Structure 1
Amino acid sequence: MALTRIISTGSGYSPKAFILLPCAKEQQLTPHTAGRVTNSDASGISLQVKCRSCGAESVYQTAQLPEGYRMYEVRVTGEDGPHLPASLRPLPYLEESFSVVATSPQHAHEQAEFGHSLPLAGHLAKYYIDGALHLNERF
């Protein structure tokens, strides 16, 4: 039986390398993916980047984004069991807002899924990209 790998389905999105940076572990240029925007001012943009080879995280500063990329404002909300009484809902509502760098709203949604720090266990999660509710196009 042949082994096949499915990267993603639905939107045709495949994980892209944001930039090639030296990997601390392998001592060579490896692809890094962009995460949260940590700072954005007149001098440039600071991003969290993650090595796709070893998983190490670092901060990357750039004056401008590569062609095709832009900043998206993301808001992630989670509501825990609205049908349950308040005594059974220790964290009834969670919310976090941040910026990500992506090529499309779907790409921003996928970055947000891995970029948020909310403890979403059984919560109804909603992702708002640039103020509009965004449904995951992969499913």
Structure 2
Amino acid sequence: MDADARAAIDLLLSESQINRLVREYCHGVDKRDADRFMAVWAEDAVWQVGPEQVFRGHTAILDGAQRQWDAFGQMHHWAANVVIDIEPGEDRATGESDVDVTVEMVDGRWVRGGGTYRDQYVREHGQWKIARREAVAHFHLYGESADIR
């Protein structure tokens, strides 16, 4: 196999693995699965959930997720419109995706929001990870409690 074919295969596999990270993040945080959630993050990752809320490193990121799990009865994230830019032959990439989030507050009220994740990715030990995720909120809708069956 020539170098161009190997590069093309690496690019396709990299994009597939990064797309999987976007989905695993949502599943991990929504299902309160700390191992699954933490598996998406690079060793020195940064998670910026708001202008004043920045978590640096695994310990702080897990603490930030725990705060969310304590604050919300349920969380549901749906990421779409994923766009990934990978420089061929590099172990770094950038991407963005739009996100729809619905959360149940501990008092039973529901909040729905939409935003964008702006990401930086890095390949560590052969695996793609999120190196930085910045969540940019675009809107929030507040509602009363719902009877969900």
TM over 0.5: no
- TM-score (ref. length: structure 2): 0.24
Which protein has the bigger strand share? 2
- TM-score of the pair, normalised by structure 1: 0.25
* Structure with the higher fraction of residues in helix conformation: 2
